[in-house]
A and B are shown apart, each in its own frame.
Chain A
Amino acid sequence: MNNAVSAAIQGVPLNYYIWLSTALFVIGVLGVLYRRNIIIIFMCIELMLNAVNLLLVAFSAHHGDGAGQVFVFFIMAVAAAEVAVGLAILIVIYNNTRSTDIKVLNKLKW
């Protein structure tokens, strides 16, 4: 039974994880460039953070080192803090401008 399970288990090349994380990160960048809704842009930033997390865990499993997973833990804490403050700012912006379009914030560009 145990032998059968371990025979069925096979490895995944590390390159596949690099490609998957790259795809997720690029989709996040695409969302930030493509959409105008601030909430969607926040979600795409979360997507990018997740891609980096996945790559860190893959490298940690590959090298047999737990430090990468501790870093993922820290990144999760930073993401939670970022979302809390960002959504509070978003609510204040919405109360002042009645919109979540990034067009109303275009004075921040210059």
Chain B
Amino acid sequence: MTLYAFYFLSFLAVLSALMVVFSRNPIYSVLYLVITFFCVACHYLLLNAQFLAAVHIIVYAGAIMVLFLYVIMLLNLNQETESQKSNILKFAAVISSGLLMVVIIGALRGVETGVIELGSNSKIGLVKNLGNLLFNEFLLPFEIVSLLLLTAMVGAVMLGKNHMRRAQQIAKNRNGKFADSATNNIKVKELTNE
């Protein structure tokens, strides 16, 4: 039964990943990517990684995808007027990625065979076990990751702030021009009245 669940989830994940690439509208791409992420989270559940499944849904489907949706809606990109690559380039992309798949599968054939016992009562993926590992063995990488997140946050805020200042300047210039033209109009009207 778990094998069927595996087949179903894999099929859904690959199908929606293909739809991410081939759907014209970016909003549909984001929604298909959310489906892919949920499938991957269900794979984690099958593999007894409950904590990672929860974190995956929270971080990817909850934070990253919402960020993507915000950007697409802020920039108003939900039209299908995207310039496409030429047919030769598309053909080359499909061929080269197919070749990459052949190479990877050929290289990994028979590397490590074994059967994963799905649904066995292993407690590796629980919070207690992972927390022990994270705060004993991997304490230094954990702290470095926190620094990385802080740096990314500062960088994103700096980039956003710079563009906000420029937009304010543009708006001010525009308002100044409008003000000038308005006063000019008033002067012209006064002159014509006289």
B-binding residues in A (CB < 8 A):
5-6, 8-20, 22-31, 33-37, 39-40, 42-44, 46-47, 50, 53-54, 57-58, 60-62, 64-67, 69-70, 72-74, 76-85, 87-92, 94-95, 100-101, 103
Q: In the complex, what residue of chain A is closest to B19 when comparing beta carbons?
A: A27
Q: How far is the CA of A107 from the CA of B49 in the complex (A)?
A: 44
- Decide if A74 touches B94 in the complex (CB within 8 Å): no
B residues less than 8 Å from A82 (CB atoms): 152
What interface size band does chain B fall in? 35 or more
A91 in complex: contacting residue of B3, B68, B75, B83, CB < 8 Å: B75
A residues less than 8 Å from B125 (CB atoms): 61, 66, 69
- Decide if B122 touches A64 in the complex (CB within 8 Å): yes
- Decide if B134 touches A70 in the complex (CB within 8 Å): yes
- Decide if B133 touches A22 in the complex (CB within 8 Å): no
A80 in complex: contacting residue of B3, B46, B59, B85, CB < 8 Å: B59
B residues less than 8 Å from A72 (CB atoms): 49, 52
B residues less than 8 Å from A26 (CB atoms): 97-98, 100-101, 104
Q: Can you sample 10 A-B contacts with CB below 8 Å? A: A9-B119, A22-B101, A23-B17, A35-B85, A54-B40, A66-B125, A67-B138, A73-B130, A78-B148, A85-B155
Q: Does more than half of chain B's interface fall in helix, strand or loop, or is it mixed?
A: helix
- Decide if A81 touches B149 in the complex (CB within 8 Å): yes
Q: Does more than half of chain A's interface fall in helix, strand or loop, or is it mixed?
A: helix
- Decide if A64 touches B114 in the complex (CB within 8 Å): no
- Decide if A60 touches B148 in the complex (CB within 8 Å): no
Known: A11-B115, A42-B68, A54-B44. 7 other contacts (CB 8 A): A9-B120, A12-B115, A47-B36, A65-B124, A80-B149, A84-B67, A90-B71
B114-128 to A contact mask, C-beta < 8 Å, 1/0: 111111101011000
- Decide if B6 touches A16 in the complex (CB within 8 Å): yes
Most buried by B among A12, A15, A60: A12
Tell me the smallest distance from the CB of B35 to a CB of chain A, in Å: 12
